[in-house]
Amino acid sequence: MTQQNKNIFYILMILAMAGWGASWVNAKVLSSYINEYELIFFRNLFTIITLAPVLIITRKYFYINKRSFLLAILASVIMIVYLKCYFLGTKYGTASLGGALVTTLIPINTFIIMALFWGKKILKKDIFALGLGAVGVLTMLNVWSFSHEQIFSIQNMYFLGASILWPALTITSSKITNTSPMVFGMYMYLISTVIVSLFFVDFSSINYKAFDSIFWLNILVLAVIATTFATTVYFIGIEKLGTNEVSSFIFLVPFFAIIFSIIFLKEEVHITTIIGVILTVIAVKILNNIVIFKKKIEK
């Protein structure tokens, strides 16, 4: 990939991270229109419609083997529970805290799960990073001034649940064989849509008349921009640039979530949230050996 093409792709990666950050704002707005299962249905529906042409254009098509299909069923169930926590946490809490807390906790929780259950080696730097991450999370939750009830509020529990469920989803997805991650994602969206449609969504009780332009704008941004576009760019980025380089862009998500929450929801963001995000971002960088600024090799 030439430097010019890299620069173009960097811009696309920034836009993708902005889409992921905006998704927390979208969920907050949509919570006044629909419940969590209806959100999953409409989000997945438009994601499927827009992702299918992408799979055809990129020649990924729809092949999936038996092992990956069974994993897709398991991943679909995990994703439904994750999206429920994501939606309800944002509904009862703030989009800024959700986007900051969950996004920064996910890589830390992934590391901890891998260390506990898959024997990932923990170095001294990892212990330091985990401690720093813990301080960052506690700072975001503002434990220094909140009461016990506020710290363990329902929205915070949903956010913490989401930060554990996403690593579980990631680890499950990593076990697929001979199947494109994008194709695997398509089957996850299809299966989870079928599950919520059959068991959790009462289509006759949905107030379709309340779906105004604000609703459709947010559901389309959530499905097309935050899911289809962002996910496609992310996976192509892994193929073209490598996991390490692409991972550095994820640090932008909590900051976009905070900025968009201030602009569109007029949320008041506490300085403790900003400080906590910075601390956890540093912790994640140390844990994953991510190099953000590379030194140029002198000729």
pLDDT at 295 over 70: no
Task: Give the range of the structural domain holding residue 242, as residue numbers without chain letter.
Answer: 3-287
Q: Answer whether 43's CB lies under 8 Å from 82's CB.
A: no
Look at residue 289 and tell me whether its pLDDT is greater than 80: no
Q: What is the mean pLDDT of the chain?
A: 88
Three-state DSSP state, 187: helix
pLDDT, tens digit, for every residue of 170-219? 899 889 988 888 899 999 999 999 999 999 999 999 999 999 999 999 99
**pLDDT tens, position by position, 49-74:** 999 999 999 888 889 999 999 999 99
Q: Measuring CA to CA, which residue among 236, 174, 239, 233 is closest to residue 20?
A: 233
**Which of 36-40, 101-105, 269-273, 275-279 shows the highest mean pLDDT?**
36-40
* DSSP codes, 66-80: HHHHHHHHHHHHHHH
Q: Is the dihedral of CA 245, 75, 104, 9 positive or negative?
A: positive
Evaluate whether residue 171 is within a structural domain: yes
The radius of gyration of the chain's CA atoms, rounded to the nearest angstrom, is: 19
Decide if 293 is inside a domain. Answer: no
Name which of 279, 253, 186 is nearest 19 in CA terms: 253
* Cα 98 to Cα 159, 192, 213, distances in angstroms: 6, 23, 25
In a domain, 166, yes or no: yes
Evaluate whether residue 298 is within a structural domain.
Answer: no
Q: Is residue 107 part of a domain?
A: yes
Whether 200 maps to a domain, the answer reads yes
* Domains of the chain: total: 1
pLDDT value, residue 117: 85
Model confidence pLDDT, tens digit, residues 128-149: 988 998 898 888 877 766 656 6
Within 10 angstroms of residue 138's Cβ, the number of other Cβ atoms is 15
Contact criterion met (CB below 8 Å) for 95 and 28: yes
105 three-class SS: helix
Establish if 292 belongs to a structural domain.
no
Q: Answer yes or no: are the C-beta atoms of 187 and 72 closer than 8 Å.
A: yes
Q: Which two tokens stand for residue 176?
A: 């697929």
Question: Is there a domain that residue 102 lies in?
Answer: yes
